[in-house]
Amino acid sequence: MTRVLVCCGAGGVGKTTLSAALAVRLALAGRRVAVLTIDPARRLADSLGLNELGDTPQRIQLATDCQAGEGCLHALVLDVEATFERLVRRSAPTSAAAERVLGNRYYRFAATRLTGTHEYMAMERLQELVESELYDAVVLDTPPTRHALDFLTAPDRLSRFLDRRVLKVLALPRTVQGMERLQQRSGVVVSVLDRLVGSSTIREIAEFVSFLEELTDTIAPRVQAVRDQLHSARFYLVTTPVPAAQIEALEFLQELQQRDLPFHGYLVNRCAPRPSGEQAPPLPSSIRAPEGMEPAVWDRILQAVGASHERFARLARHDDASLAQLRHAAGPDAQIWTIPTLSQDATDLAALEQLGRHLPGLDDDGEPAAAYSTAPPKS
């Protein structure tokens, strides 16, 4: 059985990097893992040591040997158009029907340029990976929050859309005669649409919709399967201690709870390094400026070392307040994994491995390991 792990959260919090690091971690723990990213930025490919990533899963050579022989990592980037096309070809009753859909102008438009399609296709690709039965776990990197909300509702919206009654209203007028027939039956609706959108557009959309209707019988159960998949997945909320990211994380949490989707914990990225002592250490008497360094510069450096304690203590207080808020929102049992700021972006596999040590792994039962130690927030 394939376990689906979904990383969601606001933009800019490091979802793509953490998704990759999580996948690396699970692969090193001996699992067969695929990471599906929607981020077309070259950087992920770079950090995985690849020239580029495509729609087909690519085997990633890990820097460290996997503990168990089975463990391996594959990565791929969502290709919306290719996935859509496969869906149409698989679902169409005949290949001629498939060609008709693929040739429709509205289809091409929907498949390439419009928002929303991305979300449908991310789910579809995920389903394909699960059905391939090649992986123990698939890690899904999702689009930024507002889109991700769409993605959670995509299966529901699609299935409502595929409701035959809806299609009946919209799909009939593929010809002028058809339009007139419909006009007689539900004249107001069509003439209103006509005034708003224009009749030629209506006809093209209607044609596209009627093609979709032909696909309904095969697509509808699939939408149900995707929905089931989401309900047995594990959702991790990626966030940072920054307030804006947190607000979105909490909104997302609410959304998950409302939809009864299984929330498994927060991955809090970019936590500041934490000074352990209460006070800045006194200046040791034993140190001397290196030879040739201007005394004024040396003084500024010593001041900076002294100031660093206060600076990072302040950042840590901010982090603690954030963690407390997250815990409060999700209840005392919520797991929190804190991931320290790297002074450099993760640009290679070794860095991803290092990041992965801070992320949930799987124990023998396939359950997430205990939370990485988190300093209890001081209220």
Partner 1 sequence: MCSTTTAADPSPPGPSLLERLGDRRLVVVTGKGGTGKSTVAAALGMAAAKRGKRTLLIETGGAHGLASLLGRRSARYRVLPVGEGLHLLSMNAHDALEDYVVRQLKLRSLYRLVFRNRFMGPFIDTVPGLPDIIQLGKVWDLAQEGSASQLHWDLLILDAPATGHGLTMLGSPASMMDVTRSGPFHANAKRIHRLLTDPAQTAIVLTTLPEPLPVNEALQLYQGLGPAREQVAGCVINQVHQPPFEPLDAWTAAAPALTRCEEPGWLEAVALTDHWVTTTRQQRASSLRLGQALGLPTLALPYRFQRQLEQQDLEALADSFAHQPLETP
Least distance (Å) between residue 131 CB and partner 1: 24
Return the exposure string of 337-346: e unless at least 16 CB atoms fall within 10 Å of the residue's CB, then b: bbbeeeeeeb
Q: Is 52 helix (H, G, I), strand (E, B) or coil?
A: coil
Does residue 259 touch partner 1 according to CB under 8 A? no
- Chain CA centroid to CA 317, Å: 29
Per CB under 8 A, the list member of 51, 94, 95, 113 interacting with partner 1 is: 113
Q: Give yes or no for residue 298 binding partner 1 (CB under 8 A).
A: yes
The site string for partner 1 over 29-48 (x = CB under 8 A, - otherwise) reads ------------xxx-----
Using an 8 Å Cβ cutoff, are 38 and 142 in contact? Answer: yes
Residue 293 lies near partner 1 (rule: CB under 8 A)? yes
User: Residue 378, interface with partner 1 (CB under 8 A)?
Assistant: no
- Examine residue 199 and tell whether it contacts partner 1 (CB under 8 A): yes
Which two structure tokens, joined as six digits, stand for 280?
């800045």
- Of these, 68, 197, 370, 375, which contacts partner 1 (CB under 8 A)? 197
Under rule CB under 8 A, residue 161 binds partner 1: yes
Part of the chain binding partner 1 (CB under 8 A), chosen from 60-68, 188-196, 253-261, 363-371: 188-196
How do beta strands 3-8 and 263-271 pair? unpaired
- DSSP lists the bridge partners of residue 34 as 74, 138
Q: Give 75 or 209: the residue with its C-beta nearer to partner 1.
A: 209
- Can you say how many angstroms the Cα of residue 100 is from the centroid of all Cα atoms in its chain? 32
Among 57, 71, 143, 356, binds partner 1 (CB under 8 A): 143
∠ at Cα 26 (68, 3), nearest 5°? Answer: 110
CB 351 within 8 A of CB 126: no
Residues 306-325 that bind partner 1 (CB under 8 A): 306-309, 311-312, 314-315, 318, 321-322
**Cα distance from N-terminal residue to C-terminal residue, the chain:** 42
Tell me: does residue 292 bind partner 1 (CB under 8 A). yes
- Distances from the Cα of 80 to the Cα of 9, 106, 218, 310, angstroms: 21, 15, 20, 48
Is 189 a residue that touches partner 1 (CB under 8 A)?
Answer: yes
Q: How many residues bind partner 1 (CB under 8 A)?
A: 86
State the minimum distance, in angstroms, from the CB of residue 204 to partner 1.
Answer: 7
Q: How far is the CB of 345 from partner 1 (least distance, A)?
A: 5
